[in-house]
């Protein structure tokens, strides 16, 4: 049991003891005698990899493929460890997956460069060209248009494409259903490696450990770095909805309600993916409704006329007279729910450090955001590209060199931190119906909508 004080010294002594025991096991002619006296167990010889990635979701799979394709790592060994023993699969006859990603144009190009986009095109995706954003306490609306604006892709489609590529790469090994039970970080980064002990008893040594194991990251916990985090007391409800409005399937919609935003992401074929963020008690109520009742509530949330405070109404009258008011869109009428509904808790987190001794964090292991901007996985893909860039730009440095990792961390934090703050600020800004704040945000939205230079800045960020 760790002591209450002197934890660092205790941890260092423990790591040295583990390494000494492994050394003795390797040279002893009677290795079983060196096991703990309470029981005898099999000694597992260590395996060495140049890179080990813990976590096999969107970010972990993409990181394995992106690194393996680099010329510098062509003859290196990469291990992808996935806790889940279920492989992602795409079966179009089973309907749409509940989890989708609003893929930015920039990250579509990234997936194209690593060969995944051709496989995604063979499966399923949908392009959209416009998105509307508005709220329930004002008629001010802002819309962004581009061709394309972005791509709606199911998570399992991207994962399946990446996994297919990874299986065909000679320098990638994949182990599924593997738990990491212990991680020992090196005391001397210039000569020592990271040691991982798996639940199976296998010991893995690596020059670079990448944690892509989600918001409850084991790798991040090992780094013992401070994490700024909180839960929003909100749940995200996801499902697939049917609409007879086939002419609106290239447009995305998002309306901010006091209880949280509701968004429709077009899937094509008169279908939309719903992402409805709301207070936990409201989410529980919505999940208990029949499909017919749920559809009625969703239509009401999207189409109910705005409740505009008098001060905001007066401002809108002036804006309308000056031609500065863009009214909310006519949203598609929802006819039915297709398939099941699901919910998941929403929260925010940002690790103080994205790196440690021969270790880097990616995706939700490093940062987690509210889904209102659809940027969670997109930020994770940005992190992969930044890590690959820093590794390939320093061919003379070791994998896991602290100077390379520190440069990666600095560059990524400069990109990510403003985005995290903006998304969290937007969530807080639209979580109140206090009249002065409603007036301020409505006025600000109207200004942004009328200034092309500023609006295009937001558009460029949204397209990635």
Overall average pLDDT of the 289-311 stretch: 95
DSSP letters along 5-48, please? S-HHHHHHHHHHHHHHHHHHHHH-S-GGGGS-TT---PPPPEEE
Average pLDDT (1-7) is 51
Between CA 143 and CA 152 the distance in angstroms is 18
446 — pLDDT class (breaks 50, 70, 90): confident
pLDDT digits 0-9 by tens, 215-237: 999 999 999 999 999 999 999 99
Q: What percent of the chain has pLDDT over 70?
A: 90
Average pLDDT score over residue span 225-252: 91
Q: Tell me the pLDDT of the chain averaged across its residues.
A: 89
Each residue's pLDDT tens digit, 338-370: 999 999 999 999 999 999 999 999 999 999 999
Q: What is the pLDDT of residue 22?
A: 53
**pLDDT in the model for residue 323:** 82
When pLDDT is cut at 50, 70 and 90, the band that residue 30 belongs to is very low
Q: How confident is the model at residue 26 (pLDDT cuts 50, 70, 90)?
A: very low
Q: What angle do CA 386, 348, 464 make, to 5 degrees?
A: 35
Instruction: Give yes or no for a contact between 161 and 62, defined as CB atoms under 8 angstroms apart.
Output: no
Q: What pLDDT score does 278 carry?
A: 95
- Per-residue confidence (pLDDT) for residue 98, from 0 to 100: 94
pLDDT in tens, 154-203: 999 999 999 999 999 999 999 999 999 999 999 888 789 999 999 999 99
Rounded to 10°, the helix 58-68/376-392 angle is 20
Work out the end-to-end distance of the chain between its first and last CA atoms, rounded to an integer number of angstroms: 46
Mean pLDDT for 418-434 is 93
Q: 378 to each of 58, 82, 363, 374, 464, how far by Cα in Å? A: 10, 21, 9, 8, 8
Looking at residue 34, its pLDDT comes to 37
């Amino acid at each position: 049991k760790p002591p209450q004080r002197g934890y660092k010294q205790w941890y260092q002594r423990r790591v040295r003891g583990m390494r000494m025991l492994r050394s003795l096991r390797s040279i002893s002619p009677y290795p079983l005698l060196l096991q703990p006296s309470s029981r005898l167990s099999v000694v597992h010889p260590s395996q060495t990899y140049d890179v080990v990635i813990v976590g096999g979701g969107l970010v972990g799979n993409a990181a394995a493929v992106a690194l393996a394709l680099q010329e510098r790592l062509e003859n290196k060994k990469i291990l992808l460890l996935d806790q889940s023993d279920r492989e992602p699969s795409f079966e179009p006859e089973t309907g749409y997956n509940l989890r989708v990603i609003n893929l930015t144009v920039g990250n579509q190009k990234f997936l194209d460069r690593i060969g995944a986009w051709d496989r995604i095109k063979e499966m399923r995706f949908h392009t959209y060209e416009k998105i509307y954003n508005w709220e329930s306490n004002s008629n001010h609306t802002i819309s962004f248009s581009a061709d394309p604006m972005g791509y709606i892709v199911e998570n399992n489609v991207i994962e399946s494409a990446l996994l297919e590529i990874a299986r065909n790469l000679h320098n990638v090994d994949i182990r599924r259903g593997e738990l990491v039970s212990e991680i020992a970080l090196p005391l001397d980064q210039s000569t020592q490696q990271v040691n991982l002990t798996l639940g199976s008893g296998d010991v893995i040594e690596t020059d670079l450990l990448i944690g892509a194991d989600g918001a409850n990251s084991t790798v991040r916990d090992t780094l013992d770095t401070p994490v700024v985090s909180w839960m929003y007391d909100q749940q995200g409800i996801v499902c697939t909805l049917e609409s007879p409005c086939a002419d609106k399937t290239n447009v995305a919609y998002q309306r901010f309600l006091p209880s949280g935003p509701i968004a429709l992401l077009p899937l094509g074929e008169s279908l939309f993916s719903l992402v409805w963020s709301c207070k936990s008690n409201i989410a529980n109520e919505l999940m208990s409704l029949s499909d017919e009742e749920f559809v009625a509530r969703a239509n009401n949330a999207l189409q109910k006329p705005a409740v505009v405070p008098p001060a905001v109404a007066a401002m809108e009258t002036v804006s309308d007279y000056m031609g500065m008011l863009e009214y909310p869109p006519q949203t598609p009428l929802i006819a039915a729910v297709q398939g099941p509904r699901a919910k998941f808790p929403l929260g925010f987190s940002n690790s103080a450090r994205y790196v440690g001794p021969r270790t880097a964090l990616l995706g939700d292991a490093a940062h987690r955001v509210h889904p209102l901007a659809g940027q969670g996985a997109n930020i994770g893909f940005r992190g992969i590209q930044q890590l690959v860039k820093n590794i390939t730009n320093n061919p003379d440095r070791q994998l896991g060199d602290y100077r390379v990792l520190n440069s990666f961390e600095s560059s990524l934090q400069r990109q990510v931190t403003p985005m995290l703050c903006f998304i969290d600020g937007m969530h807080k800004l639209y979580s109140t119906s206090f009249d002065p704040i409603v007036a301020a945000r409505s006025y600000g939205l109207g200004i942004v909508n009328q200034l092309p230079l500023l609006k295009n800045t937001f558009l460029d960020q949204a397209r990635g």
